[in-house]
């Protein structure tokens, strides 16, 4: 299962027998998720040019899933006593697909702060315990994506001739005053401008405290989200397009 994705370098981790459940009850989900991910490409310009919102790549992936009946959904769980609502909790999930045999929930965490994993996994745990979902998935940056992203951004700097702040302005990249000061200090200490900028940019945008594979594995190894069956997917560095 998910062998095509594995062959393309995607990391796949099954928790609490998720693969067995999906293979038996949700085989269509495998085809739909693989199709959406196999057509995924991430131009390096989008990595460098991404602002505070979602990347265009994430938006493309969301549209691909939505087009195959994986829309966003709000689950509302109410507890009532003698007809009076005592508790009402809403759980918003990025993508939800309902099949004949149950419901599959999916979240995309391309680049958030890593506590978002706790939120997602606790939501899945609660929804599973209430019998609302049967299985869930998280798609995030894989380990190769995380380990290679600095080198890819350094290559972008080299390819685009980034030698000073005027080159960043030419590319419509505008570091904050704090980041400018850090880059200047690194250059004063002997670093080349392009590597100083790339290192600062990477650490601020895609640092260890953001959502990526090892942070997700930390959570599930501690049992966060148990006992919800989970299929976890890490996107590889190979989807980065250095020519775009």
Confidence tier at 77 by pLDDT (50, 70, 90): confident
Does pLDDT of 143 surpass 70?
Answer: yes
- CA–chain centroid gap for 23, Å, is 23
Q: Can you read off the two tokens belonging to residue 8? A: 């393309």
- Of the candidates 121, 149, 152, the residue with the CA atom closest to the CA atom of residue 229: 121
CB atoms within 10 A of CB 19: 18
Rg of the Cα atoms in the chain: 20
> Of 31-35, 83-87, 210-214, 230-234, which gets the smallest average pLDDT?
83-87
Q: What is the mean pLDDT of residues 158-178?
A: 93
* 106 contacts 96 by C-beta, under 8 angstroms: yes
pLDDT band at 107 (very low <50, low <70, confident <90, very high): very high
Sorted by where each begins, the domain ranges of the chain are: 3-145+211-241
pLDDT of residue 51: 55
Q: Helices then strands (H, E): number in the chain?
A: 11, 9
pLDDT band at 127 (very low <50, low <70, confident <90, very high): very high
pTM across the whole model? 0.91
Neighbours of 16 (CB within 10 A): 17
Q: What is the mean pLDDT of residues 4-15?
A: 96
With a CB cutoff of 8 Å and minimum separation 6, the contacts of 148 are 237, 240
Predicted confidence at residue 39, as pLDDT, reads 87
* pLDDT of 88: 67
Q: What is the mean pLDDT of residues 75-104?
A: 84
Does the pLDDT of residue 124 top 60, yes or no? yes
SS3 20: helix
Query: CATH number of 3-145+211-241: 3.90.1640.10, 3.40.91.20, 2.60.40.10, 3.40.50.300?
Result: 3.40.91.20
Q: Which residue, chain included where needed, has tokens 């195959």?
A: 68
The chain-wide mean pLDDT, for the chain, equals 93
CB 219 within 8 Å of CB 21? no
Integer CA distances (angstroms), 58 to 17, 111, 116, in order: 28, 10, 16
Residue with tokens 């290679």: 148
């Amino acid at each position: 299962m998910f062998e095509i994705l594995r062959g393309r370098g995607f990391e796949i981790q099954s928790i609490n027998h998720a693969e067995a459940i999906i293979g038996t009850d949700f085989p269509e989900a495998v085809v739909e998720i693989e199709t959406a991910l196999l057509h995924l490409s991430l131009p390096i310009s989008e990595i460098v040019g991404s602002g505070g919102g979602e990347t265009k790549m994430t938006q493309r992936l969301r549209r691909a899933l939505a087009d195959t009946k994986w829309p966003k959904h709000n689950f509302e769980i109410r507890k009532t006593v003698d007809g009076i609502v005592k508790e009402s909790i809403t759980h918003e999930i990025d993508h939800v697909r309902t099949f004949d045999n149950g419901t599959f929930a999916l979240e995309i965490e391309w680049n958030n702060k890593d506590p978002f994993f706790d939120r997602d996994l606790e939501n899945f745990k609660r929804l599973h315990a209430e019998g609302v979902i049967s299985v869930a998935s998280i798609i995030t940056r894989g380990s190769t994506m995380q380990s290679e992203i600095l080198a890819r951004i350094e290559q972008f700097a080299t390819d685009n001739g980034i030698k000073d702040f005027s080159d960043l302005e030419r590319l419509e990249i505008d570091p904050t005053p704090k980041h400018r000061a850090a880059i200047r200090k690194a250059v004063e200490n002997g670093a080349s401008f392009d590597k100083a900028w790339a290192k600062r940019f990477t650490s601020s945008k895609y640092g260890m405290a953001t959502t990526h594979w090892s942070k997700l594995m930390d959570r599930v190894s501690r049992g966060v989200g148990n006992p919800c069956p989970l299929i976890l997917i890490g996107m590889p560095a190979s989807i980065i397009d250095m020519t775009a």
